Structure 1
Amino acid sequence: MQEPVGQGPLISIIMANHQGAAYLKAALHSVLAQTYANWELIFADDASRDGSQDIMREAAKRDNRVRVLLHDRLSGPAAARNRALASAQGDWLAICDSDDVMHPDRLRRLVAAAEKLGADAVADDMIHFATEPLATPRSVLGTDMPDQPRKIGPVDMLRVPEPGERSGQLGYLKPLISRSALGALRYDEGLQIGEDQDLYLRFLMQGAQMWVLPEALYLYRRHPASLSYRSSHAQVAAAVAAMEALRDRLMGEQDVEIEKILLKRHRVLQGRLRFETLVEHLKKRRFAVAVLQLLRRPSLILRLAQIITVRARAKAAGDGARKASKQAVEVVHLVGPNGVMPKCVSGRCMEVPDPVADVGYSDLWAELCQLASRTTLTLTYGDAAGLSAAWRVPAAVHILARCNVASELPPPPQVIGDD
């Protein structure tokens, strides 16, 4: 059965998947919960054997806006997305990974912003969430979060954050893109990491108008199986090759700033490749070769020591947080600007912004997501602002409605009843 389709342009939601059954239902639920109804979900499965295909076949039976594309040989996320793009019918394209979650008002707000700005693409911030302890509250934009819509260009997309800088790389974002503006551009299927940024960069280089919005409506799941969570020698080598091809194509044709940032990015990737080569030698017990590499590049010794130290500390902190989280129970009552504070209750109250004015609050949502990763978190809400905020904390264990709330948003999947 198909849900009633609303007004507005058709949005094609592209969801590539490989072995994502553990998280797929949450991603699917966030699509089905969208307040903007005129969408199609194109699910491009990449040789999964974990029940993912059964989940999506069942979803397609219930809602014919869902289409399932199957592929019996592993081809990578870029190829899976390209198959979905070839099948897309929408005026707009939205990427949602099968392990992530969207706020239910995301599509409506993104398409409204794109139309108002006359943009070819708009992107919002992405909040990190996890069921394993997060060391710090994080979002993709970090300190680059604008206070109003900001137009970006190739230099912004290529920019590499300095060590320790809290600003993010725009290539991680999941923009809403005009299908006509994208034209024949497709993902580079030779890339396993950085394929998003590569596409966005080529999109901008052909003159597309892209804006970053001061909103955070995409929840980005951090987990060890995520492709963006790890890299390998082969993946980094492919990224270096792609960057070298891009540099050769653009050098001498662009302004000095782009040439400088291309060279810097190439140096960063070359450094990553040298480190991944060292790791590869160590994994395969080629210790003599590894020692020779360290002698040629002494800076790798410091980097190796730093990473070992950071990982050891993170493991110790994670183990401690995991042990503590079994006992740590947190209750947070979400209250909007005009909401009523609950009386005689345990836990703490947290004021959250009105849903029509909740721009620029990435730090707040990231703080809640970190809390959910480190404790058994229960959220309660009693107004529309609290309901909207609760959707931004997918790892909360329980969510309670303190009363009936009048809102276009449906309850989050963790809601277990009235308090």
Structure 2
Amino acid sequence: MALDIFIPYWGDVNYMKLAVDSVLAQTSPDWRLTVVDDAYPGDEVRRYVEAADDPRITYIRKEKNEGITENFRTCVSLASQDVLVVMGCDDLLLPNFVDVVLRAHAEFPDAWIIQPGVQIIDEDGKPSVPLVDIVKQRLVKPRGTGSRLVGGERLAVSLLHGDWLYWPSLAFRRDRIRDYDFRDGFPVIQDLALVIDMVLGGAELLIVPDICFEYRRHTSSASSAKLVDGSRFVGERDFFDLAAALCTAKGWRKAARAARLRLTSRAHALLILAGTLRQSASGTLGILLRHSFGK
């Protein structure tokens, strides 16, 4: 069995090359890489992938840009192995990633989702410890040591208080993720929306402490850009309203309450609000105020 690794590509060419290099540097040979180019201008990435001359790598270019949600759908639909990963084109696998994920799947085959250990890096690839990650990992993430399974309402509550997962590092059982679809209308929070749907459907998530992935946080990312204009929080508020309704229908009262409170999301908006006040961006100010203090 091999690990299906997908990179839905749109963005910085140099970061993308590093991402491909990190796959090639795996200590385990048991992987398949598929790059799905969402019609990004130029052919430098295609030429770089082809120059690697590795039969385990497939390059696919779309005729027109379809957006991130549709590209995620394409990646999942192309999977042929039992376990798949949809990594970011600006993130990096550490050399032990494939080993860690395949071993975890072998030891916990019933886990629908695997969250391996992650190191945060900045634009320059240097280790970073942003406040948002400290809060989510130390205060929100379920406590415990070693590899451990979490699921049910407990998992939903923690994720709705604050999404402590790192989507590009998550490994999914192909037969389980294909039972679900990415929701339209949530282009930045679509990853959490899918995971919550899976948790409501009975997913168990395996937390593996072994650090094997580098997640890049930088100001030029799509999510960071949407923080600046406040549009991210409009989508978040709509999603949390939906999540509250879904959890209520499930009978998960604690999870529904967590969705309505959206504590870390409100706190995040307050941090952005402080900067907005200094810059006097009135339109963004209104969005952030409604998200931080509205129902």
TM-score interval, normalised by the smaller of the two chains: 0.7 to 0.9
Match of 1:386 in 2: none
Corresponding position of 1:156: 155
Assess if the C-alpha contact under 8 Å between 2:38 and 2:65 holds in 1.
yes
* 1:15 and 2:7 correspond: yes
Q: Which residue does the alignment assign to 2:171?
A: 176
- Out of 95, 110, 114, the position equivalent to 2:101 is 110
> How high is the TM-score relative to the length of structure 2?
0.78
State the partner residue of 1:220. Answer: 215
Q: Secondary structure at the match of 1:215?
A: strand
Distance 2:199 2:74 in 1: 22
Q: 1:135 to 1:99 in 2, by over 3 A?
A: closer
Whether the 8 Å CA contact 1:124–1:212 is kept in 2: the answer is yes
Q: Secondary structure at the match of 1:104?
A: coil
What's the CA shift string for 1:325-378, capped at 9, x where partnerless? xxxxxxxxxxxxxxxxxxxxxxxxxxxxxxxxxxxxxxxxxxxxxxxxxxxxxx
1:243 aligns to what SS in structure 2?
helix
Q: Is the 2:157–2:254 Cα contact (8 Å) retained in structure 1?
A: no
> Structure 1 residue aligned with 2:69, among 56, 78, 84?
78
Aligned-residue sequence identity (percent) comes to 18
Q: Distance in 1 between the 2:137 and 2:243 partners?
A: 27
Q: Secondary structure at the match of 2:172?
A: strand
Change beyond 3 A, Cα 1:209–1:102: same
1:200 maps onto 2:195 in alignment? yes
Query: In the alignment, which residue of structure 1 is the partner of 2:256?
Result: 259
Deviation at 1:201, TM superposition (A): 1.4
For 2:240, give the aligned amino acid: M
Deviation at 1:158, TM superposition (A): 4.6
**Is the radius of gyration larger for structure 1 or structure 2?**
1
Residues 290 and 254 (structure 1), Cα distance of their counterparts in 2 relative to 1, 3 Å cut:
closer
Taking the aligned partners of 1:271 and 1:101, their CA distance within structure 2 comes to: 26
Letter in 1 for 2:185: G
Cα shift at 1:25: 1.4
Q: How does 1:94-133 map to 2 (within 5 A)?
A: 94-118=85-109, 119-132=111-124
| Cα contact 2:85–2:172 (8 A) shared by 1 | yes
Secondary structure at 1:14 match in 2: strand
Structure 2 CA distance for aligned equivalents of residues 82 and 46 of structure 1: 12
State the distance in 1 between where 2:122 and 2:244 align: 36
What's the C-alpha RMSD, in Å, of the aligned pairs? 3.6
Indicate the SS of the match to 1:261. Answer: helix
User: Structure 1 residues 157, 251: closer, same or farther in 2, change over 3 A?
Assistant: closer
Q: Structure 1 residues 120, 268: CA separation in 2 closer, same or farther (over 3 Å shift)?
A: closer
Which of 209, 224, 230 does residue 229 from structure 1 map onto? 224
Q: Please give the TM-score of this superposition, normalised by the length of structure 1.
A: 0.57
Question: How many residue pairs were aligned?
Answer: 277
Deviation at 1:155, TM superposition (A): 3.8
Structure 1 residue 211 displacement after superposition: 0.9
> Which one-letter code corresponds to 1:63 in the other structure?
D
Give the match for residue 60 of structure 2: 69
Structure 1 residue 135, shift from structure 2 partner: 9.7
Check 1:93–1:134 CA distance in 2 against 1; reply closer, same or farther (3 A cut). closer
1:188 equivalenced with 2:183 (yes/no): yes
Letter in 2 for 1:220: Y
Report the counterpart of residue 78 of structure 2 in structure 1: 87
User: Judging changes above 3 Å, is the alpha-carbon distance between structure 1 residues 241 and 116 closer, same or farther for their aligned structure 2 residues?
Assistant: same
AA aligned to 2:37 is D
Q: What are the residue-to-residue correspondences of 1:282-293 with 2, within 5 Å?
A: 283=281
**Structure having greater relative contact order (Cα 8 Å, sep ≥ 6):** 2
Gaps of 5+ in 1: 1-8, 163-167, 301-419
The 1:55–1:127 alpha-carbon spacing in structure 2 relative to 1, beyond 3 Å, is farther
For residue 42 of structure 1, what is the aligned residue in structure 2? 34
The residue identity in structure 1 corresponding to 2:67 is: G
Give 2:243's aligned amino acid: L
Report the structure, 1 or 2, having the larger helix content.
2
SS at match of 2:250: coil
